[in-house]
């Protein structure tokens, strides 16, 4: 059996030790930001995001970002959100799918 997906409590525990990996500023969810976010998830699988702007819309933006990136919103506390995407999950940017 391959490595099992971590539980939500395990992810939250790991997230406590993280510094914000990426920050969302005035430009918002631009293509450049989404590419950088996708790259960060590919490198680390667990990413902490800090909202520098859009503080009133952060909950909706976090859900949207998780959907667009193919990641899971682990938790949101204050102006930070934590996202997880396992190594086996495909990147959101790739449109090609394997069909048998």
Q: Is residue 49 assigned to a domain?
A: yes
**pLDDT above 70: residue 88:** no
pTM of the model: 0.82
What are the pLDDT digits (tens) for 50-75? 999 988 899 999 999 999 999 999 99
Domain tally, the chain? 1
Q: Please, which pLDDT band fits residue 83 given cuts at 50, 70 and 90?
A: very high
Q: Is residue 97 assigned to a domain?
A: no
User: Does residue 53 contact residue 79 with C-beta atoms inside 8 Å?
Assistant: no
Q: Is residue 71 assigned to a domain?
A: yes
CATH number at residue 71: 3.30.110.60
Nearest alpha carbon to residue 36 among 74, 95, 92: 92
Q: Is residue 2 assigned to a domain?
A: no
The pLDDT of 85-97, averaged and rounded, is 56
Quote the domain boundaries for residue 79.
8-84
Q: What DSSP assignment string belongs to 51-76?
A: ESS--SSHHHHHHHHHHHHT-EEEEE
Q: Is residue 91 assigned to a domain?
A: no
């Amino acid at each position: 059996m391959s490595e099992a997906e971590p539980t939500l409590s395990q992810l939250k525990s790991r997230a406590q030790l993280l510094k914000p990996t990426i920050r969302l500023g005035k430009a918002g969810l631009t293509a450049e930001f989404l590419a950088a976010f996708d790259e960060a998830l590919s490198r680390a699988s667990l990413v902490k995001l800090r909202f520098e702007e859009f503080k009133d819309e952060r909950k909706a933006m976090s859900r949207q970002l998780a959907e667009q990136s193919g990641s899971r919103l682990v938790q949101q506390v204050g102006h930070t959100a934590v996202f997880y995407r396992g190594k086996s999950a495909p990147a959101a940017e790739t449109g090609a799918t394997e069909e048998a």
